Amino acid sequence: MSKHVLLVEDEPNIIEAVSFLLSRDGWSVSTHSNGHDAADVIRAKQPDVLVLDVMLPGRSGFDILEDIRSEGVCRDVPVLMLTARGQTKDRERAERLGATRFMTKPFSNAEIIETLHELSGS
């Protein structure tokens, strides 16, 4: 059975590229593109791995991560945070809120696939 990754990202070109890459690599991919109801979608989908953009319309990835980690519903789901800004304070905040990894855009195709394999244990 393939691992399920949920990609919460609002840039269509990144959604398309990452979805294609991961599908080709054998992942089951779901996508969502706004922060307003992302936590509800994460709860409903229960992904094996979550890829979460920091800057989303509605609510930030930081807020969403804080919600899902504090509820305990998705406490053990590995979370890869994506951001266009790679400042140390953003990395520290992501780690403090429970992100498993932090990746700065742009990233290479190999880098995201390798990271998701590490996070999922596959």
Average pLDDT of span 36-42: 96
Measured between alpha carbons, how far apart are the two ends of the chain, in Å?
12
Average pLDDT of span 55-80: 93
Residue-wise pLDDT tens digits, 69-87? 998 778 889 999 999 887 8
Average pLDDT of span 16-36: 97
Question: How many structural domains are present in the chain?
Answer: 1
DSSP 99-110: -SEEEESS--HH
Average pLDDT of span 23-31: 97
Average pLDDT of span 42-52: 96
User: Collapsing DSSP states into helix, strand and coil, what is residue 48?
Assistant: coil
d(CA 96, CA 44): 24
Return the pLDDT at 111.
Answer: 96
Return the pLDDT at 54.
Answer: 96
Q: Which residue has the higher pLDDT, 73 or 54?
A: 54
Host domain of residue 115: 4-120
Name residues whose C-beta falls within 8 Å of residue 19's C-beta, 6 or more positions apart in sequence.
7, 29, 31
Q: Counting beta carbons within 10 angstroms of the beta carbon of residue 66, is it exposed (0 to 12), middle (13 to 18) or buried (19 or more)? A: middle
Return the pLDDT at 1.
Answer: 67
Query: In this structure, what CATH number is given to the domain that contains residue 114?
Result: 3.40.50.2300
Return the pLDDT at 75.
Answer: 83
Q: Give yes or no for a cis peptide into 12 (omega within 30° of 0).
A: no
Give the residue from 59, 57, 100 showing the smallest Cα distance to 82: 100
